[in-house]
């Protein structure tokens, strides 16, 4: 993996950033393309994770063709529904292919997914849903094989509103026989985007308090869809403005999707304004930390912004207690930020107390433990004097399209070295 070099100095960022299509919407939609005839996607981000999803499609006999700003996906070859371990190991979202490939091929083999190590991250809910719908699942070591001639609708309640398991339930149910009711489904906007995509292709999904899907017992048709903007990318650039006392105009960003984070920034002292499909943020140098932030499923504070908030709180005024409720071990950024002079006490793997230093950090050589940890380290580097190095930079490329170009346009000196 390559590394990033960031020359900080606490200089305020300023200018305009165009937010890309959302990684977390693109990945399930690319998987769901397996259920459709011909798919045309706009705003599909160029990320290493979307490239991995394209490799999986290729294995299954689908052509993933980037032309102009769009992507066309279509089945062109016989392909096979056995996804190599190496591809599954690259990202958690490889598991999202299980339901669509099962429906297409009647049998699918894949491997326990890899991805950011944020805790145990089992796939039990995904597999239980498919079993309930009539699939036979066998697990041998790390390989998972699912078989089903046909899936049937179910009424079920998820034990936790898992984003991925909700997406598996939707993709399995749209082409199953009969109606499904999913209670306690996740409410993230990326799931709305997946539903919008599938409904355009001929599915019948209704999103209320209960997720109701009328299965059509056949594959779906043609669809053209524009991927929603990436709320976590938007939030990360907002954090860049906040940490440097800068000013940014984010184009192609939906305020409502990132309002939980925006509200925290406003409490801290930033001015944040919504303007159609854009967000404006202006931050004074002095910001006051919230006393307590806990991550929770949407619409509450997103776990994918927790490391960035930790970096921000580390250099602002006051103490902030952060509680991570989604993942068991999303704390890899804490020792790395401390290497840069932050004062963060790890009370447990889920709880840390940030003592805001109200001063610049020291440049250091740090290592990204995962994607959002990498984002937090870039933010910390902006608030450090001199040049910081962030190793394992490949994690960051999984989720931030053109990060060097976008950061340079707002005044940051940054380089990715391979
Ligand atoms: C998705 C996002 C990720 C985000 C997360 C939570 C994508 C591609 N990724 O991940 O960026 O951080 O939502 O907002 O959209 N769990 C189980 N069993 C399962 C499934 C999940 O125990 O079968 C647990 C997980 O270990 C975790 C929690 O449920 O502790 C939430 O996971 P989930 O909502 O499924 O996250 P992902 O879909 O993996």
Q: What are 135-193's pLDDT values in tens digits?
A: 999 999 889 999 999 999 999 999 999 999 999 999 999 999 999 999 999 999 999 99
pLDDT at position 276: 87
Ligand 1 mean position, distance from CA 360 (Å): 34
Atom from ligand 1 closest to the CA of residue 328: 30
pLDDT computed for residue 119 by the predictor: 65
pLDDT by position in tens, the chain (length 418): 899 999 998 799 999 999 999 999 999 999 999 999 999 999 999 999 999 999 999 999 999 999 887 999 999 988 889 999 999 998 999 999 999 999 999 999 999 887 767 767 789 999 999 999 999 999 998 899 999 999 999 999 999 999 999 999 999 999 999 999 999 999 999 999 999 999 999 999 999 999 999 999 999 999 999 999 999 999 999 999 999 999 999 999 999 999 999 999 999 999 999 988 999 999 998 999 999 999 999 999 999 999 999 999 999 999 999 999 999 889 999 999 999 999 999 999 899 999 999 989 999 999 999 999 999 999 999 999 999 999 999 999 999 999 999 999 999 999 999 9
What's the CA-to-centroid distance between 297 and ligand 1, angstroms? 10
Mutational pocket test of ligand 1: of 162, 260, 327, the residue with most ligand atoms within 8 Å of the beta carbon: 162
For ligand 1, atom 7, the nearest C-alpha belongs to 24
Torsion, Cα 362 365 370 375, to 10 degrees, reads: 40
pTM exceeds 0.85: yes
Asked whether 231 lines ligand 1 (CB < 6 A), one says no
Q: Whose CA is nearest to atom 2 of ligand 1?
A: 24
Tokens of 188: 């993230």
Closest C-alpha among 287, 353, 283 to residue 317: 287
Render pLDDT for 24-38 as a digit per residue (tens, 0 to 9). 999 999 999 999 999
Q: Please, is 197 exposed, middle or buried when counting C-beta atoms within 10 Å of its C-beta (0-12, 13-18, 19+)? A: buried
By most ligand atoms within 8 Å of CB, the mutation choice from 28, 47, 120, 121 for ligand 1 is 121
Q: Whose CA is nearest to atom 31 of ligand 1?
A: 162
Q: Report pLDDT for 343.
A: 98
Decide whether 3-20+229-417 matches 23-226 in CATH topology.
yes
372 CA to middle of ligand 1, Å? 14
Tokens of 260: 């939980």
Which sequence spans correspond to the domains of the chain? Answer: 3-20+229-417, 23-226
Q: Point out the residues that are catalytic.
A: 116
CA of 252 from ligand 1 middle (Å) equals 25
Contact 276, 251 (CB under 8 A): no
What's residue 373's pLDDT?
97
pLDDT value at residue 80: 85
Residue 116 confidence (pLDDT): 66
Q: Omega before 299 cis (within 30°)?
A: yes
User: CATH topology for 3-20+229-417?
Assistant: UDP-n-acetylglucosamine1-carboxyvinyl-transferase; Chain (3.65.10)
Beta bridge partners of 415: 5
| Among protein residues, the one whose CA lies closest to atom 33 of ligand 1 | 162
Number of C-beta neighbours around residue 79 at 10 A: 17
d(CA 45, CA 371): 16
Overall fold of domain 23-226 = UDP-n-acetylglucosamine1-carboxyvinyl-transferase; Chain (3.65.10)
CA distance 86 to 33: 22
Q: Quick check: helix, strand or coil at residue 379?
A: helix
d(CA 155, CA 300) in angstroms, rounded, equals 26
Burial class (CB in 10 A: 0-12, 13-18, 19+), 132: middle
Which of 30, 118, 160, 398 to mutate to test ligand 1, by most ligand atoms within 8 A of the CB atom?
A: 160
């Amino acid at each position: 993996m390559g590394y990033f070099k960031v020359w900080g100095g606490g200089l305020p960022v300023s200018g305009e950033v165009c937010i890309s299509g959302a990684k977390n919407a693109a990945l399930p939609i690319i998987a769901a393309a397996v259920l459709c005839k011909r798919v045309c996607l706009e705003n599909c981000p160029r990320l290493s994770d979307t490239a991995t999803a394209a490799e999986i499609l290729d294995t299954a006999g689908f052509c993933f063709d980037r032309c102009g700003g769009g992507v066309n996906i279509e089945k062109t070859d016989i392909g096979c529904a056995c996804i190599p371990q190496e591809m599954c190991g690259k990202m958690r979202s490889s598991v999202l292919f299980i339901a669509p490939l099962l429906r297409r091929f009647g049998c699918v083999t894949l491997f326990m997914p890899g991805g950011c190590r944020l805790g145990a991250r089992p796939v039990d809910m995904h597999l239980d849903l498919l079993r309930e719908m009539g699939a036979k699942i066998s697990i041998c070591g790390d390989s998972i094989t699912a078989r089903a001639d046909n899936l049937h609708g179910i009424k079920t309640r998820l034990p936790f509103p898992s984003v991925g398991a909700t997406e598996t339930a939707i993709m399995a149910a749209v082409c199953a026989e009969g109606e499904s009711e999913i209670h306690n489904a996740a409410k993230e906007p990326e799931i709305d985007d997946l539903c919008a995509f599938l409904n355009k292709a001929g599915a019948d999904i209704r999103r209320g308090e209960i997720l109701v899907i009328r299965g059509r017992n056949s594959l779906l048709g043609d669809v053209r869809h524009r991927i929603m903007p990436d709320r976590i990318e938007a939030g990360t650039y907002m954090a860049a403005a906040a940490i440097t006392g800068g000013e940014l105009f984010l184009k192609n960003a939906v305020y409502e999707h990132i309002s939980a984070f925006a509200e925290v920034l406003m409490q801290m002292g930033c001015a944040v304004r919504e303007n159609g499909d854009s967000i404006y943020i202006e931050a004074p140098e002095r910001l006051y930390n919230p006393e307590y932030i806990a991550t929770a499923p949407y619409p509450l504070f997103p776990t994918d912004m927790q490391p960035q908030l930790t970096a921000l709180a580390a250099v602002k005024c006051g103490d902030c207690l952060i509680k991570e409720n989604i993942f068991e071990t999303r704390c890899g950024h804490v020792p790395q930020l401390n290497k840069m002079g932050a004062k963060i006490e790890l009370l447990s793997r889920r709880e840390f107390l940030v003592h805001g230093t109200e001063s610049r950090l020291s440049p250091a050589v740090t290592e990204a433990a995962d994607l959002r940890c990498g984002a937090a380290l870039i933010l910390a580097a902006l608030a450090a004097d001199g040049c910081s190095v962030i190793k394992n930079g490949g994690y960051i490329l999984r989720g931030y399209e053109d990060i060097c170009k976008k950061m340079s346009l707002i005044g940051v000196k940054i380089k990715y070295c391979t």
